[in-house]
Amino acid sequence: MAATQGGGKGWQLLQVVRQGLGGAERLVRNPKELLSLLTMAERRLDRVNAGRLTPIKKDVQTLLRLMRAYGEGRYRQVSGKNLVLAGLAIMYLVSPLDVLPDFLPGGFFDDAAVIGFVIKKIRTELVAFEIWEQAQGSQDGWR
């Protein structure tokens, strides 16, 4: 039986995702907030040397550069839907409220799962951004 309004864990999860998407949409519309969050995410990613995020670290760095270029108004060739989805992933990465706290063994597993899902969904946007970056001749310091 499908989850109905007001009942079941499925409904509660759906509500959390909707709230998160709303927050991500507000975030990408506010460049100052977006850039601040990206700085926190970049610092956090710099501390990741091992664990579940390591295999996708390069992709996450590309995602952060795309978001920064968008927030600074330098890159606009990204769909609104994918931008919000990316914002949600970045919010989850820096959020102190995780399904698995990061200080526990395997704590980055949930971060890696969420971010990996988003990267898979927006892979085409990331590739297009990397092509644009190469044409611009810069990668904002991250390689």
Can you read off the two tokens belonging to residue 86?
Answer: 């990316």
Query: Residue 58 falls within a domain, yes or no?
Result: yes
Query: Residue 38 falls within a domain, yes or no?
Result: yes
pLDDT score of 58: 87
Range of the domain at 93: 31-136
Query: Residue 20 falls within a domain, yes or no?
Result: no
pLDDT score of 51: 59
Band of residue 143 on the pLDDT scale cut at 50, 70, 90 = very low
For residues 8 and 54, what is the distance between their CA atoms, to the nearest angstrom?
35
Query: Residue 112 falls within a domain, yes or no?
Result: yes
Band of residue 103 on the pLDDT scale cut at 50, 70, 90 = very low
Query: 3-state class of 70 per DSSP?
Result: helix
Query: Residue 110 falls within a domain, yes or no?
Result: yes
pLDDT score of 73: 94
Mean pLDDT of 20-41: 81
62: nearest Cα among 76, 45, 50: 45
Mean pLDDT of 91-95: 79
Q: What residues contact 139, with CB distance under 8 A and at least 6 apart?
A: 65, 133
Whether the per-residue pLDDT at 56 is higher than 70: the answer is: yes
The lowest-confidence range among 3-7, 24-28, 134-138 is: 3-7
pLDDT score of 8: 65
Whether the per-residue pLDDT at 50 is higher than 60: the answer is: no
Query: Residue 141 falls within a domain, yes or no?
Result: no
pLDDT score of 105: 45
Q: What residues contact 54, with CB distance under 8 A and at least 6 apart?
A: 48
Query: Residue 1 falls within a domain, yes or no?
Result: no
Whether the per-residue pLDDT at 67 is higher than 60: the answer is: yes
Number of structural domains in the chain: 1
CB 96 within 8 A of CB 37: no
Can you read off the two tokens belonging to residue 125?
Answer: 């946007």
pLDDT score of 100: 45
